[in-house]
Structure 1
Amino acid sequence: MAGNPLVKEDPAIERFNNMRERAYLNFRWTKKTTRTAIVGVIILPGMVYWLASKYQGKFDWLQRKGQPLLPTTKLE
């Protein structure tokens, strides 16, 4: 299929799409890509898990309007 003859192809867009589709062929592990992978795969999910486990059950989201989210405790 040749495509629509009324549409003119832009060579810059075609080169960009070709580069984007073949990016995995030119991938190399460098310090920057290793650091990005470690942050994105280990550190960031670990921080989200830690925050979720730390604050699990701390807030009461089913409060009426005007009441605080944190349960109030009276010191006696």
Structure 2
Amino acid sequence: MAGGHGGFEPVKLDPAIERWSQMRENVYQHFKFTRRATRQVITLGFLVPAFIAGIAVSFDNKYDWAGKQKGSSLLRGTPAKPSPASEE
């Protein structure tokens, strides 16, 4: 296949890419919480999901799609559109 056999290397290895790959494989061994890393964890791990959850909760019971007629409001708690037969 693509492996080197008998001293033959079909793929050239780039030392910079190999160093980067080695660094990425071992990042957990050298990670330290700095101000920047802590800020990113708090922002992306807590604030963004809390913001999205707040939006979801605020819109959770605002709309009602079940059984709505054409032209009637989708807002929950609004009266249904009167039928044309009752308007005489």
What's the TM-score once normalised by structure 1's chain length? 0.67
Of the three residues 54, 60, 65, the one matched with 1:56 is: 60
Of the three residues 21, 25, 28, the one matched with 1:24 is: 28
Runs of 4+ in 1 over 2 A off after TM superposition: 57-64, 67-71
Aligned to 1:9: 13
Q: Which has the higher contact order (CA 8 A, sep 6+)?
A: 1
Larger radius of gyration: 2
Gaps of 5+ in 1: none
- Cα distance in 1 for residues equivalent to 2:20 and 2:63: 48
Residue by residue over 1:28-69, the C-alpha shift from the partner in whole angstroms, topping out at 9 and shown as x without a partner, is 1111111111112211111111100001243456889xx698
Other structure's SS at 1:55 match: helix
- Cα distance in 1 for residues equivalent to 2:73 and 2:18: 54
* 1:59–1:70 contact (8 Å) kept in structure 2: yes
Alignment length (residue pairs): 71
Q: Percent identity?
A: 36
